[in-house]
A and B are shown apart, each in its own frame.
Chain A
Amino acid sequence: MTKIGVFIPIGSRGWLISTTSPMTMPSFDLNKTVVQRAEHYGLDFALSMIKLRGYNGPSEYWVHNLESFTLMAGLAAVTKKIQLFASVAMLTLPPALVARMVSTIDSIAPGRIGVNMVTGWQPKEYQQMGLELTPEHFARRYDYAAEYVTIMKQLWETGVSDFKGDFFQYDDCKLSPRPSASIPIVGAGQSPAGMDFVAKYGNYNFVVAGGLNQTDGCRDVAGRVADAAKKYGRDTGAFQLIMVIADRTDEMAFAKWEHYKQGTDVEALEWQASQAGADVKANANSTAALLKKGVENPEPTGMTKIIGSYENVARMLDEIAMVPGIKGLMLTFDDFVVGMEQFGEHIQPLMKTRNAALSTQAAA
């Protein structure tokens, strides 16, 4: 069964860089509603990103953002079953403190918290607070991440870390309570180094493709995720990031997309491109390189958009889910509360990859 999660709107405008898309002002109540409804509809996980600086431009894209660990801690206290992931901007928090935050959220919701590792691509997020993303950092960011995750794993698994590396020197560092279960690690490594890091340490790798109603855009990247995992004898799966814009008919769904396109915030896309361009040696497959391209063909989002009637969206999501190497989907919506209800009520019930009964029927 394909896993499905929701990329919850911790930042303003969600994932649509547009002045005509829903404002999606991040509040605890909004995120709580989205996650409780996701849980109600049997979704597998909710993940919040960490973003410390928004984009310039009139849409105020990501200008308003909550903090990921405290948000997930609050959500943990008001949910029962759903898996939660918080994101750590590794340059801003020591690994021993993050390990303790994870233990604390595990105490709130035993066995339900995981961590998304963020190396950083947007220099201003860090530079604004005196932390520099230097060329040396870009070149070695996954070495840094490997040391970081090793320390956390030592603390979670044994309660002690004596790790000595290039970036961290620990000396009989202790953690207790330890989490009640193994803590899943996820990442979104698209470059070869990033993919290798997630394959070695991670459970899921979030992958992106572009395109509108294109269901095989991740075939290549999912294959690379699977190959990287094989190298370490692990089963790290590719999870594709998708925006769903749905309605009763194709026409009604596309009318929404056309409306959002009219408000495309070009100034914000230019900001994104200039920030993503800071890593001049970025690999062509890296997140930074993909974001840089956004300005060439300005649209409110560069991620894969699945737009249409409930039936057509369900069919296309099934097609994506059946691409070899894809183990799950992480969904965003144009409007998260409405979108989650549409998904739960009208789309998911039609998906073969989410309903054992339907897939048996299809086979017979």
Chain B
Amino acid sequence: MVQIGVFIPIGSRGWLRSTTSPRTYPTFDLNKTITQRAEHYGLDFVLSMVKLRGFNGPSEFWQHNLEPFTMMAGIAATTQRIKMYASIALLTLPPALAARMVSTIDSIAPGRFGVNIVTGWQPKEYQQMGLWPGDEHFKNRYEYATEYVQVMKDLWETGVSNFKGQFFQMDDCRLSPRPAGHIDIVAAGTSDRGMQFVAEHCDYNFVSSGGGTNEPDKAGENVARLAKVAATTGRNVKAYTGCMIIADRTDDLAFQKWEYYKQGTDLEAIEWAHGQSSADKSAPSDSTAGRMAANTLAMLKNPKAAEPHGGLRLIGSYENVARMLDVMAETPGLGGIMLTFDDFIIGIEQFGQYIQPRMRSRATPIAAANQNAA
């Protein structure tokens, strides 16, 4: 059964770089409401990114952002069943402290918390606070991440770390309380090196589902790439992918929204994204930064074709969105789908009331959610 999660809007404008999309100003109440409604509809998880710097441009895209660990701690205290992931910007937080934050949130919500590993692609996020190690970080960021994850695992599993590496030197470092169970580690490694890191050290990987509108069958190649690397490690590592849902009663009504958001496409924000994502001169074309650099450059060259969201959109009637999500869910080896919405509260209600009930791939979770409600 494919898992469904929500990429919750910890940053302004959610995932639409547009002046005509919902503003989605991040507050605790907004994120709590979305998570509680996601839980109500039997969704499996929520994940919050970490973003320490927004994009230039009039849409104020991601300029307003909360901090994920403290936000998830609050959400953990106000939910019962749903699984939560917070993102760690590795360069900003020592692994021993991150490990203790995880223990603390696990004490709030035992067995419901995991972490998403963020190596960083946007230099300004770190440079603004004097933490950018220089562009050599692009080359060794997965070695850094490997050491970081090892320290956390030592602490969670044994309560002690004596890890000595290139970046971290632990000396009888202790952690207690330890988490009640295994802490899932996820990442979004899309380059070969990133996939190798996930295959060796993580539990799930978010891979690209391609892009474009209503092409739900393009994730297979990346899912297979991960499976191939994972097979060499003998570990059970699942691929997850994502998409944005823009839905309504009819295809027409849904596409009207998308056309409206397109009118406000924030080219200045796209320009900023291009400048930041092309800082890594050696980025492979299939890495997060490489894909973003190419995608944003294409839009800058042809502004008429510019779009507020570079990833896959599923746009249409509830029936058609449900059908396309089922196609996506049937991607061989896919573990789950993480959703974003144009408007998150309306979107999660539409999903819960009208889309999910039509999905063959969600029959079991719906039955469970109904039982919980009863």
Contacts and interface: CB of A to CB of B under 8 A. Distances in A.
Contact of B28 (A26, A63, A100, A108): A108
B77 A63 contact: no
Interface stretch (A128-136, A216-224, A292-300, A324-332): A128-136
A257 to B, nearest CB: 27
B123 to A, nearest CB: 11
Given A78-B77, A107-B27, A168 B66 contact: no
Contacts of A76: 74
A107 B67 CA distance: 11
B173 interface: yes
B53 A174 contact: yes
Nearest to B160: A128
Contacts of A105: 70, 74
Interface in B37-90: 52-54, 63-67, 69-71, 73-78
A97 to B, nearest CB: 5
B105 interface: yes
B103 A67 contact: yes
Contacts of B27: 107, 177
B373 interface: no
Contacts of A181: none
A66 B176 CA distance: 8
Contact of B77 (A74, A96, A103): A74
B71 A129 contact: no
Interface in B141-186: 168-174, 176-177
B97 A92 contact: yes
Interface in A11-35: 25-29, 32
A58 interface: no
Contact of A77 (B63, B67, B74): B74
Contact of A73 (B29, B54, B65, B73): B73
Contacts of B357: none
B290 to A, nearest CB: 26
A202 interface: no
B305 interface: no
A96 B53 CA distance: 11
B340 to A, nearest CB: 20
Contacts of B172: 128
A174 B54 contact: yes
A128 B131 contact: no
B114 interface: no
Contact of B174 (A54, A70, A75, A77): A54
Interface residues of A, number: 50
B104 interface: yes
A75 B100 CA distance: 17
B contact residues, range? 35 or more
B92 interface: yes
B108 A28 contact: yes
A168 B174 contact: no
Contacts of A65: 100, 176
A69 interface: yes
A173 B128 contact: yes
A105 B100 CA distance: 18
B104 A70 contact: yes
A231 to B, nearest CB: 31
Nearest to A79: B77
Nearest to A89: B97
Given A73-B70, A168-B130, A169-B130, A176 B64 contact: yes
A64 B169 CA distance: 22
A181 to B, nearest CB: 15
A28 B70 contact: no
B26 interface: yes
A73 B72 CA distance: 8
A252 interface: no
A338 interface: no
A278 B173 CA distance: 19
A170 interface: yes
A104 B28 contact: yes
A172 B128 contact: yes
Nearest to A68: B104
B124 to A, nearest CB: 8
Given A65-B100, A66-B100, A129-B96, A94 B129 contact: yes
Contacts of B25: 177
A71 interface: yes
A66 B107 contact: yes
Contacts of A173: 128-129
B101 interface: yes
A101 interface: yes
B64 A73 contact: no
A65 B32 CA distance: 27
Which of A53, A131, A176 has most B Cβ within 10 Å? A176
A258 interface: no
Given A28-B104, A73-B71, A97 B66 contact: no
A128 B129 contact: no
Contact of A70 (B32, B94, B105): B105
A129 B172 CA distance: 8
A171 B130 contact: yes
B93 interface: yes
A97 B66 CA distance: 10
A64 to B, nearest CB: 4
Contacts of B131: 94
A104 B71 contact: yes
A283 interface: no
A113 B95 CA distance: 25
Contacts of A78: 77-78
A52 interface: yes
Contacts of A69: 69-70, 73, 101
B370 interface: no
B171 A128 contact: yes
A127 interface: yes
B127 interface: yes
Contacts of B130: 168-171
Pick the 5 closest A-B CB pairs, nearest first.
Answer: A73-B73, A73-B70, A128-B173, A173-B128, A77-B74
20 contacts: A28-B77, A54-B176, A67-B101, A74-B74, A74-B105, A77-B77, A77-B78, A78-B78, A96-B129, A97-B129, A101-B70, A104-B28, A104-B71, A105-B74, A107-B29, A128-B172, A128-B174, A131-B94, A177-B26, A177-B64
